[in-house]
Amino acid sequence: MIKRTLFFGNPAYLSTKNEQLVVNFPEENKEERTIPIEDLGYVVLESPQITITNGLLMKLVQNKTAVITCDKQHLPCSFLQPLVGHTEQTERMRHQLNASIPLKKQLWQQTITAKVHNQAGHLLKQEKKALKLKRWAKDIKSGDTGNIEAVAAAYYFQHLFDEIDGFSRNQKGVPPNNLLNYGYAILRAVTARALVSSGLLPSVGIFHSNKYNAFCLADDVMEPYRPYVDALVYDIVETGCHIDELTKSIKTELLMIPAMDVIIDGKKSPLMIAMSRTTNSLYECFSGISRKILFPVF
């Protein structure tokens, strides 16, 4: 079942009754609305004037709904996750924490190979050259000791948005960097939600290890999924709309990321479902059941 994403950009009072999320708009002349909590996968809270009851937060967490809050720049900045995301959580975390360095290096090799392949697939979709990316994807070694990820990323973005003057991938760079930042933040929340549901710790990565980063594993696992965000942003840019600011219509498009169709294991699947399959396959690698992470193919 595809879970719904709700976005609140205006002042609202959010509560719960009869297993429903109840929405009231105190400053607007609108009728009260209700949405079944079991249908919700993500709730994005942007307005600083939103009031949400503890009872509702409890039910959202129990439903494994990701509650995402935004900062003054309207970018997602926090993610509420349950303390217990899986019935075998303790055992699964132990496997994750006991993973050997050689295993982590092999998993990182698989991850970056899948990412570069998907970047190549996206460039080809946009009728741009991708032969170098395909060649580099074959040369990635255990642990990506040659740092092909960085080389491929520079080439990829240089050619993807080659018609935009002065563009380079930088969080504070020229548009559409702002769209990419927003899209990646949503993708990060999707990944963290799936990891928690699979009984894994989002903060303990296979490659990323910054002590100030609470989502190192999420940042690892989401890498091959980034080209799907890039594709959505590219389509928005191609419409010719104003992209200097994150308008409501642009955010609406980007909030569709969890429901985007991807191909995984030869079948079409919503991205959020595919992500759950990826994180579960990662657990199987940690536990020794499998040796391969399941990633989508662009």
- Binding-site residue numbers are 149, 208, 223
Same domain, 104 and 243: yes
Res 259: pLDDT: 94
Same domain, 22 and 97: no
Same domain, 236 and 105: yes
Res 25: pLDDT: 87
Same domain, 168 and 232: yes
The domain total for the chain is: 2
Report yes or no on 186 lying in a domain. Answer: yes
Averages of pLDDT over runs of 10 residues in the chain (298 residues) are 87 94 85 93 92 95 91 84 83 96 98 98 96 96 96 96 90 94 94 94 92 91 98 96 92 94 96 97 97 97
Calpha distance 37→65 (Å, rounded): 8
Same domain, 67 and 93: no
Report yes or no on 20 lying in a domain. Answer: yes
Same domain, 103 and 226: yes
Same domain, 27 and 147: no
- Binding-site residue numbers for Mn(2+) are 149, 208, 223
Same domain, 99 and 228: yes
Report yes or no on 298 lying in a domain. Answer: no
The CATH number for 208's domain is: 1.20.120.920
Under 8 Å between Cβ of 80 and 61:
yes
Under 8 Å between Cβ of 142 and 182:
no
Look at residues 80, 108, 131 and tell me which one is the last residue of a structural domain.
80
Res 1: pLDDT: 66
**String of b and e for 95-111 (b: at least 16 CB within 10 Å)?**
bbeebeeebbbbbbbbb
Please report which residue ranges of the chain form alpha helices under DSSP H: 54-62, 89-97, 101-125, 131-138, 148-160, 177-197, 216-221, 226-238, 248-254, 271-287
pTM: 0.91
Strand order in the sheet with 20-24: 33-36, 20-24, 12-17, 50-52
Look at residues 58, 80, 102 and tell me which one is the last residue of a structural domain.
80
Calpha distance 155→239 (Å, rounded): 24
Res 77: pLDDT: 85
Same domain, 25 and 70: yes
Same domain, 206 and 94: yes
Could you tell me the residue range of the domain that residue 199 belongs to?
A: 89-287
Report yes or no on 276 lying in a domain. Answer: yes
Place of tokens 């992470």: 293
Task: Residue 60: name the closest of 42, 86, 33 by CA.
Answer: 42
Same domain, 93 and 72: no
Report yes or no on 228 lying in a domain. Answer: yes
Residue 77, H or E segment: strand 76-80
Under 8 Å between Cβ of 8 and 26:
no
Under 8 Å between Cβ of 272 and 41:
yes
Res 73: pLDDT: 81
Report yes or no on 259 lying in a domain. Answer: yes
Query: How distant, in Å, are the alpha carbons of 5, 33, 53, 148 from that of 56?
Result: 16, 14, 5, 45
Report yes or no on 296 lying in a domain. Answer: no
DSSP string, 251-265: HHHHTTGGG-EEEET
Same domain, 121 and 197: yes
Look at residues 19, 50, 80 and tell me which one is the last residue of a structural domain.
80
DSSP string, 201-258: -TTS-SS---TT-TTHHHHHHTGGGHHHHHHHHHHHHHTT---SS--HHHHHHHTTGG
Calpha distance 272→2 (Å, rounded): 8
